[in-house]
Amino acid sequence: MSKRGVAGVDSTADTEAAVTPATRLKRYYSNQDLKHECARDHRAAPQMEQGLHLNLANVRTSALFTIVVWLGMAACLYSIAGDYHYQWDFHIYYTAAREFAAGRAPYVHIYPNPWNRSEVFLYNYSPLTLYAFQWAVPFSLEAAKWIWLGIKLVGLALLLRLWHASFERLNAGWAIVLFLALGFNSALLRDFTAGNISTLEQLGIWLGFGLLIQGRLYAAALVLACVSQFKFLPIAFLVLLLVNRPREGWKPFALGCIAFVAVFALNLLMGVGLFHDYRLHFADPRNEFDSRGVTNPSSLALFRDLMDSTSYTNGLPENVVAGTHIYVLYLILLALLLIRAVWKRRDRLRAADPKLLVYFACALFTIVSPRVKDYSYILMLIPTLFVLRDLGRRGRRPDYLLLGLGLLAFGQPQQSLVPGLQVSIYLLQAYLPLFLAAGVMVYVLKTILKKPATLTTVFTPDSNNEAMATGGVHGGQAATLSN
């Protein structure tokens, strides 16, 4: 055993003797590097601990902001539900449904505010849609308003789930909540305040979009045809079937058009007199179809407002006619510009991701529609969220000089002695959602025409709630473009 031990020692000694000077030098520097790494790790440990505490503080601050924002939203909804003056649009639906159930004409003057008889409204939807509100007839107005608010909250939850699953990833962080609640002049909260059907209408429209990107064209066409029975204009989204699937889309497009006409024709079966009242109510002077400004920031309203604001006498019928002519010219020029931009690269338009086509269609629909109420801008929330995230992915940050100028403009009073400033500030403040929609449309179209792209989702840790507000990735997930 001693021999084996001696032999082992001798063998080790021989091995050490066989080591060259270069190998010994390499071992020395390797040991020195190891010592430097240990020293560096020892110095970095306090910094890592400090960074960990800082991240923990950011998480706590973000959680506190989120709780405050959600409490604010809850208080706002509670105020809407408890105030008799809110949800005036539902008051119109409720009164029309009761008149119809009693066998009387539903297209009559309705006074949602009993203390102000100057506020007169009419039921603007087709007779067939009255069946959608028959459930409210047995209840009092107060109880029906609570139920209607609950129905809309369920519809909003389903809409958020649809957006999250099929379009843009969402979470309950404070930045996303504020963006959805206050975006586009608080379009979502305005809908809840007015008691309109816009949230439920948007659920139907985005359900049709979701079916479209899944390739279920016939189902998408039928959904859009049914949803359009209330406000008619969303039927224009059927054109997406032809853009997305130029060959296969014709039959679903034709089916959607036929279904829309067939369902609308059912109004005639409810009585010729009722349908006659429905047609006549559009000519009622109490119907505010020419509303403008903050409550209707549409392109037609913009041009009419522009002519009215720059003329010597406001309110003249000639101003309305001139604004309408400019609106028609605007539609023609916009169509020509889009054809010129797309024609040589229409193959890229056909190869584009269906989500991008949906976002582009939403923005285009918004800037060309003759009437876009303030709460209808819910349609622009998801396309705008995509643009903000894509700008962050590209590393672009906002120009703070332009932001400062914008804040200065909004800080100016509309009553000003500077020539032209009063009109400019009013148009900027009232029609800013329209201008933002135009910017989103241009951005998405440029993204589509750059190169064929598919929309994917990149998952990142949910650690920065401020990123979305600054144009970056928010909520732990970012929509990106991959080729």
Residues in CB range of 127: below 8 A, 6 or more apart: 100, 106, 267, 270, 271, 274, 275, 278
Q: For 151-209, how does the pLDDT look when each residue is reduced to its tens digit (9 = 90+)?
A: 999 999 999 999 999 999 998 888 888 899 888 988 999 999 999 999 999 999 999 99
Residue 410's pLDDT band (boundaries 50, 70, 90)? low
Percent share of the chain, pLDDT over 70: 74
Comparing CA positions, the residue from 141, 39, 33, 50 lying closest to residue 92 is 141
In the predicted model, is pLDDT for residue 269 greater than 70?
Answer: yes
177 contacts 69 by C-beta, under 8 angstroms: yes
Predicted confidence at residue 33, as pLDDT, reads 56
Residue 451's pLDDT band (boundaries 50, 70, 90)? low
325-329, 332-336, 382-386, 472-476: range with lowest mean pLDDT: 472-476
Predicted confidence at residue 213, as pLDDT, reads 94
In the predicted model, is pLDDT for residue 413 greater than 50?
Answer: yes
Mean pLDDT of 89-97: 92
- Which tokens in the block code for residue 400? 């703070």
Rounded to whole angstroms, the Cα distance separating 426 from 294 reads: 10
Q: For 246-267, how does the pLDDT look when each residue is reduced to its tens digit (9 = 90+)?
A: 889 999 999 999 999 999 999 9
319-328, 352-361, 449-458: range with lowest mean pLDDT: 449-458
Higher-pLDDT residue of 63, 51:
63
User: Per residue in 22-61, is it b (16+ CB within 10 Å) or e — as a string?
Assistant: eeeeeeeeeeeeeeeeeeeeeeeeeeeeeeeeeeeeeeee
Per the listing, tokens 């054809």 go with: 339
Predicted confidence at residue 236, as pLDDT, reads 95
Predicted confidence at residue 476, as pLDDT, reads 37
Q: For 363-373, how does the pLDDT look when each residue is reduced to its tens digit (9 = 90+)?
A: 999 999 999 99
CA 287, 290, 291, 296 dihedral sign is: positive
Rounded to whole angstroms, the Cα distance separating 370 from 379 reads: 15
Residue 452's pLDDT band (boundaries 50, 70, 90)? low
122 contacts 133 by C-beta, under 8 angstroms: no
**Domain edges within the chain:** 1-82, 292-483
Rounded to whole angstroms, the Cα distance separating 220 from 209 reads: 7
Distances (CA, A) of 456 to 356, 459, 477: 11, 10, 10
Predicted confidence at residue 319, as pLDDT, reads 85
Neighbour count for residue 117 (Cβ, 10 Å): 9
In the predicted model, is pLDDT for residue 149 greater than 60?
Answer: yes
Predicted confidence at residue 335, as pLDDT, reads 95
User: Per residue in 76-97, is it b (16+ CB within 10 Å) or e — as a string?
Assistant: ebeebbeeeebbbbbbbbbbbb
Predicted confidence at residue 54, as pLDDT, reads 55
pTM of the model: 0.79
Predicted confidence at residue 379, as pLDDT, reads 96
Higher-pLDDT residue of 194, 81:
194
In the predicted model, is pLDDT for residue 427 greater than 60?
Answer: yes
In the predicted model, is pLDDT for residue 6 greater than 80?
Answer: no
